[in-house]
Amino acid sequence: MEAWSPKIVAFLCTWCSYAGADLAGTGRNQYPPNIRVIRIPCSGRINPLYIIKALLEGADGVMVSGCHPGDCHYLVGNYYARRRFVVLKKLLTTAGIEADRVHFTWVSASEGARFADVVKEVTEKVTAMGPSTIVGAKHNQDSSGNNCPQNDSAAVILSDSEESYSFEEQQSELIPLCKKLLEGGTVSIIIGFQEGGEMGLSVPYFLNSPAEADKLVWNNRCVPNLSGYLCEVHSSPGEMSGKTAIIAKPCDARAVICLTKENQLKRDDVHIIGLTCDGMVDENGTALPACMNCKVRIPPVYDTLVSDGKQRDGSGTQGDGSPVLSAPQDCISAICQNNTEEPSPCVPEPPLCFERFASEMEKCILCFSCRQSCYGCYCKTCFVERGEPDWQTASPDIGTKMLYHLGRATHLSGRCVECGACENACASGVDIRYLIREVTNFIEETYDYQAGMDLATEPAMLSYKTDDPEIGFLGFENPNDNGCTGGDAGV
């Protein structure tokens, strides 16, 4: 029987690495015949989805090579690509997908011998890992107890007493403020919350006259992120006259800033009424998981801030650039202190491993409610529904679900404001936010960027530094140990 040898998809930039491969051939530099080359105009043209798709379609490894930094034919394409590749590696590692099957490097047109060496090195590494087991992977319960435990957030009951939260005080300030904004013509529409949802939850409320403001509510059941409605209100230029005000939790305000940076909104069209937030609860009064990890309890940007019964006008920053009120310690600490129920909510995070990812994927029915509820998913046609290329199979299997969720995670890299709308909307209880949260934390640590905290800073994934670290590239040690004790990816 023929011995197994890996199939490796190699994306090569036509200007450098593809020419380097040519030179390896003409220079008779031998390398293993395992790569299948796809010629691309620039490493910056690589969509991380191509790499994910290759892995899910059965490639044992993927190699991407472009011009050396500083030598890109399009000047900066590889600088942007470098960040994308580093973040993709982090995402794959978080999902427990063997990120060491994916290799990034730079080879110039004059480096035929280096091209051959790179292919040899990649082939050896992938061969050592054995055949890919990503395709058709199933959740593998570990009878030794190493299977991923579920986060017991249901144990958390948030108090909405006046001593702990100032919702009522803020609401009493909010209503006259909204009347004043409408009466004075500062805004023509306000998007806020009113009562009337199922199980006591508040629902979005659009008002355009001062008399309607009395129905506004602000409580710990104002869960939806309202920022997406702003895009709809302003999607027909010419039909809107005047500004739209949004009653914004910190995550809503951050989303508005992101949408503004992404040219989906004009900052001048929006009046942000910022409110402090100690966390939201579901219909049972249980703390929402996203709120338990929230570190931003005061909107970082606003036009008017209603906080502790005091209104402040301004840009949202003091002279030193820090938030007007310094955010308290993690919300989870506050919740722990206020929690009167046992057991404690401070349960350890389940390990990051493939079993956890696969078990969440098995719950998914691809209803796309996570996408529909996400402020950041505003594409008219989602990638997963595009026919060219055909990302989705006719009978969606676990690979399609993985592709969708990993693809969505790459799209939200550096853009997620951690509002938790995706998991709140999921009827199947899929917890996939942890993937995006890990990537979000990584981007903050690596590129010093948090989405939606100010208008001035360029989004991490739309910018670069010439000396950005090449974490996970060939020749660099991979610092991302996923800590998984649950075995290999797949079965």
The binding site for ligand FES (CB under 6 A) comprises: 13, 15-16, 42-44, 66-67, 72-74, 77-78
Nearer to ligand FES, 15 or 302 (CB): 15
- 455 within 8 A of 267, measured Cβ to Cβ: yes
CA 405 to chain centre: 10
Shortest spacing between CB 79 and ligand FES, in angstroms: 9
Minimum gap (Å) between residue 117 Cβ and ligand FES: 19
* Nearest approach, Cβ of residue 65 and ligand FES (Å): 9
Cα–Cα separations (whole angstroms), residue 350 to 77, 109, 411? 37, 46, 24
In angstroms, give the least distance from the CB of 263 to ligand FES. Answer: 25
β partners of residue 39: 12
Measured CA to CA in angstroms, residue 293 lies from 179, 296, 379, 456 at distances of: 34, 9, 28, 25
Nearer to ligand FES, 77 or 228 (CB): 77
* Dihedral over alpha carbons 299, 303, 304, 308 (to 10 degrees): 20
- Specify the residue, 40 or 324, whose C-beta has the smaller distance to ligand FES: 40
Judge contact between 353 and 486, C-beta under 8 A: yes
73/312 with CB nearer ligand FES: 73
- C-beta closer to ligand FES: residue 39 or 295: 39
CB atoms within 10 A of CB 150: 13
Cβ atoms of 385 and 396 closer than 8 Å: no
Residue number, 20 or 61, with CB nearest to ligand FES: 20
Task: Give 51's contacts (C-beta < 8 A, 6+ positions apart).
Answer: 11, 62, 64, 88, 102
Contact 373, 425 (CB under 8 A): yes
Spatial CB neighbours of 474, under 8 Å, sequence gap ≥ 6 = 103, 104, 105, 118, 121, 122
Comparing CB distances to ligand FES, the nearer of 7 and 73 is 73
Neighbours of 183 (CB within 10 A): 11
Distance in Å, CB of 69 to ligand FES, minimum? 9
Signed CA dihedral, 192, 194, 196, 200: sign only: positive
Q: Kindly report each contact of residues 394-401 with a partner whose C-beta sits within 8 Å and lies 24 or more positions away, as own/partner.
A: 396/366, 397/136, 398/136, 398/137, 398/138, 398/358, 398/361, 398/362, 399/56, 399/57, 399/135, 399/136, 400/366, 401/361, 401/364, 401/366
- Looking at the Cβ atoms of 52 and 109, the one nearer to ligand FES is 109
What are the helix (H) ranges across 95-166?
A: 112-129
The kind and range of the H/E element at 433 are helix 433-447
Minimum distance of ligand FES from residue 107's CB (angstroms): 10
Q: Taking a C-beta distance cutoff of 8 angstroms, is the pair 410, 91 a contact?
A: yes
Q: Least distance (Å) from ligand FES to the CB of residue 118?
A: 15
Q: Shortest distance, CB of residue 468 to ligand FES, whole angstroms?
A: 14
Residue 56 vs 102, nearer CB to ligand FES? 102
Q: CB-wise, 13 or 182, nearer to ligand FES?
A: 13
CB of 411 to ligand FES, least distance (A): 22
From the CB of 106, what's the least distance to ligand FES, in Å?
8
